[in-house]
Amino acid sequence: MFFAELGLTQHDSLTAAQLAASEAASAAGGRVFTCVVFQQGGRLMLTTAFSNAFLVKHVVAEPATKGGNPRMATNRPMDPGHVRAISKYLADNEHNYILPPVTLNVRSVPAIHIPRGNFAMTAGFVVIGDETKFSVTDGQHRLAAITKRSEALTETDSKFMSDSVSVVIVVEPDLARIHQDFADAAQTKQIPASLLAAFNTREPLNRVLTKIVDGSTLFRGRIDETSKSLSQLSPAIFLLNQVRGMVKELLFRDYALSEASIPARTNQVIGSAASQDAFVERTLSMMAVLTEHMTPWKAIAALPTSGGPANQVVDFRKHYINMTATGLVIIGHVAYEIEKNQDPEWRTARYIDLATKIDWRRNADIWHGTIITGDKISTTRAPGRLAAKKVMAAIGLPGADLADSALPGMEPLVTSAGV
C-alpha cells in the first residue's frame, strides 16, 4: 500500500515490471537500473549501484561557501585537502581500493516499476533520464575525488570509470530535511587510533608495526589493539598506538610526525618489502635484547598473558617509566641513534647498556627535572627529548643534534591516555 500511495507503477510480475521499465527507457532515452525499493522513516528509498562515469555526469554537489550561509546550500563546505587525499588513494590503489556507499537525494519520485504486492521491500526497476540530477546527502568528498581522478586519467585502458559505487537514493524535496539527513548520517563513531593502526595495513608503517607486535616476546598478547586508552587495571602493557609512537621514533626520529606526512616519509625509509623485512628484523632484535635484560620487561615476558599473575603489570605500570608511552618514545629516540651504527655487536652492547645502566623506576634521579615534575609525568616533546639526551649521555652514546628540544614542546607524546 505504501508504494502505491507514492505513485510507483505496479505490475503483475517482476518480468512485467522489467519489460515496462525497458520500454519506458527506450521511449524517453533513459536508462534502467535494477534496484531494491524500501521504506525507512516513512520515506521512499532505493539502493542500487552507479558507475563512476554515471556519477560524474548525474550527481551535482552544492557545497556551501566558507563564511556564507550553509542553510541555503545542499552540502557543507568542500574540504579540498580531503578531496586530494581520497583522489590520491584512488590513483595509488586503482586495482585494490574500496569506496563506501554514498547517499544521494532526488527531489521527486522517478519512474519506478515494481511487482504488485503488499511488501515492505521489493526488487524493482528505476528509469533515469539524462535530465535527472541527484544531489549529495553523504559522500560529497568521495564523489568529488572520483571526478578529480577522472579528469587526471591518461590511460585509455583504465577501468576506473567503469567501476561502480553502491548508492542509497532518498526521495526528499525538503532542503531542511536534506540538511538533517546529512547531520544524522554524520553521527559516526571515530575509530580509536590503535584499532585504525591494526586494521590499516595498507600503510607500510602499520604493516611493520603489526609484525613487530606479533614477533616480540614482550608485546605478543599484551598489547591492547582496540581501545582509545588503557584503564588503570588493564593487564595490557601498551596500546597499539603507543607502540606505534616508538616505531615512528625508530623510523623518523619523530613520534609526532603528522599522519599526512607519514606515507611519503615511509616510502622513503621502508618503501620496499625487503626494507620493511629488514627493519622488522632489526627492531625485533632490539626488543629481544631489551626484554632479556631490562626491568621489568624481563619479568613481564615470563608472565602469562591473562589470569591473576598477568595483573602484576598494573603494579609495574605505576612504578616504571618504561611502562609508559613516554618511556617507549624515549627508548625509540635513543634506539634511532644506536641503529645508525652498522656493527650488530656494538648495537647489542648499547642495548644492554640501555637496559641495565638506566634506572627506569619513576623515582630515579635521571627523570626528575626532565619528564617527572612532582608526581606527574610529562607528555610533551621537549621534556622527552631532554630525558633522551640524558639517557644517551649515561650510556656513553654520542649526543645527536637535539635542537628540536628547544621547541615549545606542546605536542602530546600520545594521542590517548595511558602514560
Which of 337, 329, 327 lies closest to 364 in space, CA to CA? 327
Please name the residue ranges forming H helices in 203-342: 204-215, 240-252, 262-270, 273-293, 297-301, 312-319, 325-338
**CB distance 167 to 142 below 8 Å:** no
Q: pLDDT by residue (tens digit) across 312-360?
A: 999 999 999 999 999 999 999 999 999 999 999 999 999 999 999 999 9
Grid cell locating 193: 587510533
Query: What percent of the chain lies above the pLDDT cut of 70?
Result: 89
377 strand-pairing partners: 372
φ/ψ (deg, to 5) at 122: -155, 155
pTM tops 0.85, yes or no: no
Say yes or no: 132 and 266 in one domain.
no
DSSP 220: T
Residue 64's pLDDT band (cuts 50, 70, 90): low
Place of cell 517482476: 14
Q: Where is the domain boundary, 185, 210, 245?
A: 185
Q: Where is the domain boundary, 131, 160, 185?
A: 185
φ/ψ (deg, to 5) at 6: -85, 0
**Orientation angle between helical segments 273-293 and 262-270, nearest 10 degrees:** 90
What SS3 state is found at 216?
A: coil
Whether 412 maps to a domain, the answer reads no
Say yes or no: 236 and 95 in one domain.
no
Grid cell locating 269: 625509509
pLDDT value, residue 247: 97
Say yes or no: 204 and 85 in one domain.
no
- Parallel/antiparallel/unpaired status of strands 164-171 and 102-106: parallel
Say yes or no: 373 and 249 in one domain.
yes
Whether 417 maps to a domain, the answer reads no
Say yes or no: 162 and 197 in one domain.
no
Say yes or no: 203 and 120 in one domain.
no
Q: pLDDT by residue (tens digit) across 255-282?
A: 989 888 998 899 999 999 999 999 999 9
Whether 392 maps to a domain, the answer reads yes
Q: Which amino acid is at 176?
A: A
Say yes or no: 75 and 123 in one domain.
yes
Q: pLDDT by residue (tens digit) across 84-134?
A: 999 999 998 988 999 999 999 888 778 999 999 888 899 999 999 888 889
136 strand-pairing partners: 104
Say yes or no: 63 and 116 in one domain.
yes
As a whole number of angstroms, the longest Cα–Cα distance in the chain is 87
**Which DSSP string corresponds to 140-204?**
HHHHHHHHHHHHH---TT--GGG-EEEEEEEE---HHHHHHHHHHHT--PPPPHHHHHHH-TTSH
Whether 32 maps to a domain, the answer reads yes
**Orientation angle between helical segments 344-356 and 273-293, nearest 10 degrees:** 40
Q: pLDDT by residue (tens digit) across 146-170?
A: 999 999 987 776 889 999 999 999 9
Q: How many domains does the chain have?
A: 2
**Which DSSP string corresponds to 58-110?**
HEE--BPPTTS-GGGSSBPPP-HHHHHHHHHHHHHTTTS-----EEEEESS--
Whether 263 maps to a domain, the answer reads yes
> For residues 305 and 313, what is the distance between their CA atoms, to the nearest angstrom?
10
Say yes or no: 312 and 287 in one domain.
yes
Say yes or no: 145 and 173 in one domain.
yes
Say yes or no: 198 and 178 in one domain.
no
Q: Where is the domain boundary, 149, 164, 185?
A: 185
Grid cell locating 72: 541555503
Whether 132 maps to a domain, the answer reads yes
Say yes or no: 271 and 374 in one domain.
yes
**CB distance 155 to 95 below 8 Å:** no
pLDDT value, residue 357: 97
Distance (Å) of CA 72 to CA 135, 136, 179, 180, 397: 14, 14, 10, 13, 63
> For residues 386 and 218, what is the distance between their CA atoms, to the nearest angstrom?
27
pLDDT at 283 over 80: yes
Residue range(s) defining the domain that contains residue 12: 2-185
Whether 380 maps to a domain, the answer reads yes
pLDDT at 220 over 50: yes
Whether 252 maps to a domain, the answer reads yes
